[in-house]
Amino acid sequence: MRSYGVLMAAGFGFGSWWFIRRGRARSIEPTRSLNLVIMVLIAGLIGARLLYVATHWYEFSEELWRIFWPVQAGGFVGMHGFVFYGSVMTAVPLAAMVVRRWQLSPLVVLDAAAPPLALGSAFGRMGCFLNGCCFGVPTDSLTGIIFPAGSLAGTSYPGIPLHPVQLYMIADNLLIVALLLWIERRWVRFDGVVIGAYFVLTGLMRGYEDILRYYESSMQLLDVGGFVVTVNHLIGIAMAAGGAVLIVRSRSRRSD
């Protein structure tokens, strides 16, 4: 049993429990919240996998059956290779569509989901750290960590200290949880601001962290004076911009 899978499951479990509690406080039936959680889980996993495949096509171009095949080389059961942004791109639109069919406010549901999403991401990044994936670039700073030789990070940079970007992401996600709760309790007076703030904070957070993160050449778009622009940079910018627009529109609707 791998720590990565255990922590991903723990993050999903705690996040789901918290979302159901927050939904109940907003008059959302727990059964509907649970059904939504299951649908979002499936859509999120599919989206995260497909975005990884799209940005690592060289790994699958000759063996398309491996995209969703759960048995890896050596008999290991499970799939490696998921991109967080892919889950957002599929899960959020699905959630909005489903809750509209239930005649609920999508913004109310998404506001309830925002802090649990950030908390679940923190659990997931601890799994990444223990797994040795999603690692950073080499560094001489005090925070540098040498990963074990058997891990992906240790294989890519044997014996070389790397930025523990996964730990930075854990700290940033926990900070986002705290900020969202503060915004919700002290500042918000209209629906849509909490999820909008989540998009803005997450997009900005990832934009900074991705500077310190190692990416394969398939994820790199161009080099601007030594700064490598990646696919995730563009997605992060789009997420932050979309969150800002959502906040402005939410405030405008409330004013009307």
Look up residue 59 and give its two tokens. Answer: 């790994």
Q: Which residues pair with 227 in a beta bridge?
A: 224
Q: Which amino acid is at 235?
A: I
Angle between helices 231-255 and 193-209 (to 10 degrees): 160
Backbone angles phi, psi at 216, to 5 degrees: -65, 165
Write down the pLDDT at residue 30.
93
Number of H helices, E strands in the chain: 8, 2
Closest CA to 169 of 220, 216, 118, 238: 118
Once rounded to an integer, what is the mean pLDDT over residues 113-142? 92
For residue 77, the model assigns a pLDDT of: 63
For the chain, give the percent of residues with pLDDT over 70: 92
Mean of pLDDT over the chain:
86
Please state, in angstroms and rounded to a whole number, the distance separating the CA atoms of residues 32 and 255: 30
Position 200 in a domain: no
pLDDT digits (tens, 9 = 90+) for 80-118: 678 777 888 898 888 888 988 899 888 899 999 999 999
pLDDT over 80 (residue 222): no
Rounded to two decimals, the pTM is 0.83
Output the CA torsion sign for 233, 236, 237, 238.
positive
Is 70 a member of any domain? yes
Q: What mean pLDDT is predicted for residues 188-199?
A: 88
Q: Please report the pLDDT score of residue 138 as a whole number.
A: 94
pLDDT value for 52: 84
Among candidate residues 104, 95, 139, 79, the one with its CA nearest the CA of residue 27: 104
- Kindly state whether residue 256 falls inside one of the protein's structural domains: no
Q: What is the DSSP secondary structure assignment for residue 148, as one 8-state letter?
A: P
**Tens-digit pLDDT profile for residues 7-59:** 988 999 999 999 999 999 988 899 999 999 999 889 988 988 888 888 778 77
Give the H/E segment covering residue 229: strand 227-230
DSSP states of 171-227 as a string?
HHHHHHHHHHHHIIIII--STTHHHHHHHHHHHHHHHHHTTSB---GGGEEEEETTE
How many domains does one find in the chain? 1
Sign of CA dihedral 169, 7, 159, 226: negative
Q: Which of 115-124, 154-163, 188-197 has the lowest mean pLDDT?
A: 188-197
Query: Where in the sequence is the domain holding 47, given as residue range(s)?
Result: 3-132+158-189
The pLDDT value recorded for residue 224 is 67
pLDDT at residue 73 greater than cutoff 80: no
Report yes or no on 211 lying in a domain. Answer: no
In a domain, 247, yes or no: no
- The pLDDT, as a whole number, for residue 116 is 95
Answer whether residue 256 shows pLDDT above 50. no
Find the mean pLDDT for residues 241-253. 85
Spacing of C-alpha 3 from chain mean position? 18
Instruction: Decide: 93 and 65 in contact? Cβ < 8 Å.
Output: no
Residue 255 in domain:
no
Q: Tell me what pLDDT residue 170 has.
A: 96
> What percentage of the chain has pLDDT greater than the value 90?
45
Q: With respect to residue 194, please indicate whether it lies within any of the assigned structural domains.
A: no
Instruction: Give the pLDDT confidence score for residue 136 in this predicted structure.
Output: 93
CA angle, residues 173, 177, 181, in degrees to nearest 5: 165
pLDDT at res. 255: 47
> Does 52 map to a domain?
yes
